[in-house]
Structure 1
Amino acid sequence: MIKTSKDNQATFLVDSIIEFKDFLPNYNAHIESFHALLEKECIAWSEIKNFTHGYIIIDDYIKFYNKERIHGSLSYMNPNEFIRKSMLIRICQ
């Protein structure tokens, strides 16, 4: 049961429930895929000593992922290269 009040809490609650559907796993499969790769290619191979060490390892992996690692779904380019080429194509059109 939803109770209403002078400040429209019920409306806020309904809006929050409607927006929540966007955070379900099937709506963000690309992030779920990245987290699986992060676990498999980075965390599983590292012995993380503390929070700072873990932060550095994950930050280095994200830089590698965006600047060096090629992706089959991006025509075998890294994400940075793919974005640059995509922007050039849009400018030339």
Structure 2
Amino acid sequence: MKMEHERIPPKTPNMNAHIESFHRIFEDDCLSRWQFESYTEAYKAVTEFMVIYNERRMHSSLQDLSPMEFYEKQRTDLKIKEVRV
């Protein structure tokens, strides 16, 4: 599978709303909470945040389930909530 990198025009974050939303959550819930004194501290905080974000945090686009819960239930007849962008 070939992947193509596509850039969006400057100052148009609405064209990539999902990643912009992630960046806001990442900034608010991880980076702005701490003053890191070393790369190691920052790496540890970011790694812990990513585990929480990807495994435990509820996502509205996944019917307010965590990704792990959604993955476990995806084998049943679970309907995905429509997301309009």
TM-score (norm 1): 0.63
| Alpha-carbon separation, structure 1, partners of 2:76 and 2:65 | 15
In structure 2, the residue matched to 1:48 is 36
CA distance in 2, matches of 1:69, 1:38: 12
Matched, 1:63 2:55: no
What is aligned with 2:81?
none
1:24-53 Cα offsets, whole Å, 9 max, x none, are 241x32122111100001111111111121
| SS, match of residue 19 in structure 2 | helix
Counting matched residue pairs gives 69
Distance 2:61 2:17 in 1: 14
Distance 1:66 1:42 in 2: 14
Identity %: 35
Alignment partners' CA distance in 2, 1:29 and 1:85: 26
- 3-state secondary structure, aligned to 1:76: coil
Q: Which has the larger radius of gyration?
A: 1
Unaligned stretches of 5+ residues in structure 2 = 78-85
1:73 is displaced (CA, Å) by: 2.2
Runs of 4+ that moved beyond 6 A = none
Pairs within 5 Å for 1:8-87: 19=4, 22-24=6-8, 25=13, 26=15, 28-86=16-74
* TM value normalised by structure 2: 0.67
Structure number with greater CO (CA < 8 Å, separation at least 6) is 2
